[in-house]
Amino acid sequence: MHEPIADPANRDAATPGQGMLELGVCYYPEQWPRALWEEDARRMAELGLTWVRIGEFAWSHIEPRPGEMHWEWMDEAIDVLGRAGLKVILGTPTAAPPKWLVDRYPDILPVDAAGRTRKFGARRHYCFSSRRYRIEAARIAEAMAERYGRHPHVHAWQIDNEYGDHDTVHSYSEEAAIAFRAWLAARYGDIEALNEAWGTAFWSMRYNGFDEIDLPNGLVEEPSPTHLVDYFRFSSDQVRDFNRLQADILRRHSPGRPITHNFMSQNTDFDHHALGADIDIASWDVYPMGGLVNGRLSEADKARYLRHGDPDLVSFHHDLYRAVGRGRVWVMEQQPGPVNWAAYNQAPADGMVRLWTWLAYAHGVDMVSYFRWRQAPFAQEQFHAGLLLPNSEEDQGFREVQTVIAERSLLPSGEERQKARVAFVLDYDSRYATRALPQGRSYDASHVAADWYAALSRLGVDVDFIGQHSDVDGYALVVAPDLVIPDPAFVARLAASKARALFGPRSGSKTKDMHIPADLPPGPLARLLDISVTRVESLPPYHQETVLYGNTRFAASGWRETVRTGNDVLASFAGDYRPGAPAVVGNEKARYCAVLPEGALLMKLIEDCLHWAGVETMPDLGDLRLARRGRLTFAFNFGNEPVDAPVPTDARILVGAQKIAPGDLSIWI
């Protein structure tokens, strides 16, 4: 079940570090001849790396047969790395259970939505709900923690690897069905309460007991949206419970060593805020090239940014995971060259590994670890670059890390990311709601949020992410592009604060039970806005609405709402259908957008709201992005032409120059 989440201000474990960016690498000693280990460790240290992650896929090497533990190779690997002066991040190996375990307990395997068991032969082949797998995961985690928990060279722990990768949060196994029924019984207590919440009177879907309930897959028609959202909530809680099981073991045997998990980009299958409460540092895996190809931008923009990446998607996730880690965030895997897993796998422009490293530091990251030390000449990731080529020659990424290390000495230490003036709400229940009821084939809440974030970034504004558990005091503007299920307690805190708020369409449109609010949307947000939403439309891409905002007409598409309001009408629809109807409304406290703003309309809306809230902005930066960390200002050019950075006349440039080349950066103080 959902539990309270720690407030971001509570920082109860010290972040390792020396007040300046630290660097590391991912290493797999079990994949290389023993004769290479000392040389690799020496070269890592000589390069200037201080952290090395190992072990997250090593279970079959530790325990090749049931109960037969082979620790000697890992003992030696940790000692070799430690003697070279490297600090080890040790991964629990539960993302890849060995074949003998699958053969002994086949019910640990996940089942996809089509009912097919997902077999052994890759990774992440387990179901979070498997009771047997939880026992085995706890057993191997405890064995590692007992052996290495107080080892002088083991300085941090990573639990598992990339929850959510390969669509593995949602399993439809019998074990998941059993766990889901128990979760529902705990949530609702009485089956009639569930029937009421799920609206089972609608299609004669009534249940007489929790044991009658199935998982929401393989149905003739779509399930009740509440059934589906509850399944998403349940699946998220299963991930958190699985993670917490290992976190508790590690804390017991390895006191004082911080615990992390490496999250992913563009994945909201589980609540990162909730899981973040159980770890000390949030980390994530940064792959901008694949993120671009598989991402939100148009094909024209993907072509334009082909070798530089989406200018905003990486920063979006740095800021998100900084919040998840309550101010503490690492990059556990930084792309150093082409990858192997995207639809297409282009190489980054020379200089981008350096740029991405400083981008991370600018957004509050304290340690960047590159994936991987040496490119593998075998198995699934042969095309995935490392810092070294398969023959141990230095690759481009290695040389760019050398540049970063040289530049690091030019910067003052101890500079910390300051609290922003703008807070950006990412609520996972609301994401589940739009996944269950998108109401339009092209609607993607993740893309909407990234577009809003990009508009803020183009205006030079730093952003903090928050959830509905967060305090909003000290923010001038709270931006919520898709707060579908607002928590009345969050709304009350927002109402009591001095912050102003901007809400996107669909905000407040559903209760926690996925019903239309009794007094119509925006539900609890009516405390802030005098509006009622009486009709919603999803619109096809071949149709465009016209919005009159000030004296300018803007095109809009995708979504439109009809609202009644006693507030000021700031923009209105100007097309053939209901001309003059409100498109943006507001008062002194809050504004609401009844259309899905994109492009020029979105930029106009965001700029107006920033000025309304008293937040200083820059002129549209185009392909340039700014970020601030303490006294330092960073400027990054994601475009294909040189640009002038807005360096104040009294500033001193520490890295780069005022004229920034494509794929380059400047840092000033």
How confident is the model over 404-455, as pLDDT tens digits? Answer: 999 999 999 999 999 999 999 999 999 999 999 999 999 999 999 999 999 9
| 589-620 pLDDT, tens digit each | 999 999 999 999 999 999 999 999 999 999 99
| 294-323 pLDDT, tens digit each | 999 999 999 999 999 999 999 999 999 999
The Cα–Cα gap between 179 and 320 comes to: 30
| 483-511 pLDDT, tens digit each | 999 999 999 999 999 999 999 999 999 99
Summarize the confidence of residues 658-662 as an average pLDDT.
Answer: 98
The CATH architecture to which 624-668 belongs is: Sandwich (2.60)
Summarize the confidence of residues 235-264 as an average pLDDT.
Answer: 98
Q: Which of 97, 6, 594 is nearest to 325 (CA)?
A: 6
Beta bridge partners of 23: 368
CATH code at 22-169+239-408 = 3.20.20.80
Domain regions of the chain by residue span: 22-169+239-408, 422-612, 624-668
Q: Which of 289, 277, 232 is nearest to 445 (CA)?
A: 232
Which DSSP string do the residues of 133-159 spell out, in sequence order? HHHHHHHHHHHHHHHHTT-TTEEEEE-
Calculate what percentage of the chain has a pLDDT beyond 90. 97
Q: Which of 258, 321, 257 is nearest to 286 (CA)?
A: 321
**Model pLDDT, residue 19:** 80
For 422-612, the fitting CATH number among 3.40.50.880, 1.10.510.10, 2.60.40.420, 3.30.1490.20 is: 3.40.50.880
162 catalytic? Reply is yes
Neighbours of 660 (CB within 10 A): 21
Calculate what percentage of the chain has a pLDDT beyond 70. 97
Summarize the confidence of residues 364-372 as an average pLDDT.
Answer: 98
**Model pLDDT, residue 18:** 54
333 catalytic? Reply is yes
| Global pTM value | 0.96
The Cα–Cα gap between 482 and 432 comes to: 11
Q: Of 22, 136, 333, 561, which residue is the catalytic one?
A: 333
Question: Is 89 a residue whose pLDDT tops 80?
Answer: yes
Entry field: residues in the chain: 669
Question: Is 75 a residue whose pLDDT tops 70?
Answer: yes
Q: Which of 79, 71, 173 is nearest to 118 (CA)?
A: 173
Q: Of 162, 175, 415, 561, which residue is the catalytic one?
A: 162
Summarize the confidence of residues 258-265 as an average pLDDT.
Answer: 98
The DSSP bridge pattern shows strands 329-334 and 367-370 to be parallel
